[in-house]
Chain A
Amino acid sequence: MEKIEESLMIERKNQTHRIFFHSLLLILLAFFAFILGWAYLSPAPGSTGLGVLVDAQLRESGVENRVTAVLLNFRGYDTLLECFVLFLGAVGVWSLTPSRLRWHESLDSPILASLVQLLVPLMIIIAGYLTWFGTLRAGGAFQGGTVLAAAVVLLLLASRSTWQKIPLTLLSYGLIIGPAFFLFIGIACLIPGGNLLQYPTGYNNILILLIELVAAISISLSLAALFGGRRPDAPNNTLTTGTER
């Protein structure tokens, strides 16, 4: 009898806790909703955005796509830092002890293999096209890199052991080459007397295209490294499967 009463009391206590927590959460959410709605609905006085400004400077940027112009020219340092963020993400995953969870071995299905054989070359072509086309229309290093990463992910899904076959040095250099090249170009811009990432006039287009191509490789490898989840040379200790609780 005592036990039942005790459990009932605990139950009641938990319930009050829960109600208190939920009401607190609701108040917090209402507060955020108010702030967001106010920020969204209140028009900035006299602001037409930066679209007009970008259009006026577009000729000087060396590319015809406005988003690419912003990404790699006007706000190049954003993209530079972002490349390093991706690199750090991949490094962070690699620096963790590899997961003991068993990798499901591939099914060795001939359908999957032939599909991958068909799709991966196509995706590589599309990735290259998207990257190259980014200077003219919608597209660019991130889009191309993502398609390339998807190709690698498909490859890994078809046969998991592919990841361990990739040479580590190639992968490591591939991961850093994009940010490093971008940084190198940015610093090289200082030599003729410009600012950081201020491309010399006349070389805009070719420099942006080069940076995009190299960055696309690094972006795709970083994303693939995140999916791979471990260094290719990590010991394969799948003795114990993950203990689910």
Chain B
Amino acid sequence: MFIPPSFIYGLTGIILFLVGFGGLLACTHLLRKILAVNIMASGIFLILVTIAFGNGKVVDPVPHAMVLTGIVVSVSFTGLALAIACRVQETANFSQLYKKKDNQNGADNS
């Protein structure tokens, strides 16, 4: 059975998006959330580029342009989010949105 390479790319994009989305919901640490959003964005970019490839005859440049803008916006978002996360860590002295109860006395192991 022949699997076209674009299908594998699309599947990888979907998996990346799901991994990032799961991480965004499951991780409590702010830095992990930011990283998860980045992974999600990578998945979306991969899906978009794969869709742009289409049947391979005429490559659609519009999704390419969207991905190009998207990458720069995601970098900008990451920078701003990291700065805000730093502020939260310093002012409120916490970096996790939710702390496990059974872990309160022990060392922070995440």
Contacts and interface: CB of A to CB of B under 8 A. Distances in A.
Contacts of A229: 83, 86
A50 B66 CA distance: 13
B101 to A, nearest CB: 6
Interface residues of B, number: 45
A29 B76 contact: no
Contact of A70 (B65, B72, B73): B65
A50 B60 contact: yes
A32 B68 contact: no
Given A28-B25, A33-B14, A93-B79, A78 B93 contact: no
A180 interface: no
B90 A100 contact: yes
Nearest to A55: B58
Nearest to B76: A89
Contacts of A37: 14
Interface stretch (A112-120, A199-207, A220-228): A220-228
Contacts of B101: 10, 14
Contact of A33 (B18, B50, B100): B18
A166 interface: no
A66 B62 CA distance: 9
Interface in A74-96: 74-75, 78-79, 82, 85-86, 89-90, 92-93, 96
Contacts of A22: 26
A40 B47 contact: yes
Given A71-B69, A79-B69, A245-B94, A51 B75 contact: no
A54 interface: yes
A50 B62 contact: yes
A242 B35 CA distance: 21
A66 B71 CA distance: 18
A182 interface: no
A53 to B, nearest CB: 9
Contacts of B54: 48-49, 51
B64 A92 contact: no
Contact of B90 (A32, A90, A99, A226): A99
Given A82-B72, A96-B87, A226 B80 contact: yes
Interface of A: 10-11, 14, 21-22, 25, 28-29, 32-33, 36-37, 40, 48-52, 54-55, 66-67, 69-71, 74-75, 78-79, 82, 85-86, 89-90, 92-93, 96-97, 99-101, 140, 142, 146, 219, 222-223, 226-227, 229, 242-243, 245
Interface of B: 10, 14, 17-18, 21-22, 25-26, 47, 50-52, 54-55, 58-62, 64-66, 68-69, 71-73, 75-77, 79-80, 83-84, 86-87, 89-90, 93-95, 100-102, 108
18 contacts: A25-B25, A25-B26, A29-B22, A36-B18, A48-B54, A51-B61, A70-B65, A79-B65, A82-B73, A89-B77, A90-B76, A93-B79, A223-B76, A226-B75, A227-B79, A229-B86, A242-B90, A245-B94
Given A37-B14, A78-B69, A142-B71, 11 more contacts: A11-B102, A40-B10, A40-B50, A48-B58, A51-B54, A70-B62, A71-B68, A79-B65, A101-B86, A242-B89, A245-B95
User: Top 5 closest A-B pairs, CB basis?
Assistant: A226-B79, A49-B60, A51-B58, A89-B76, A66-B61
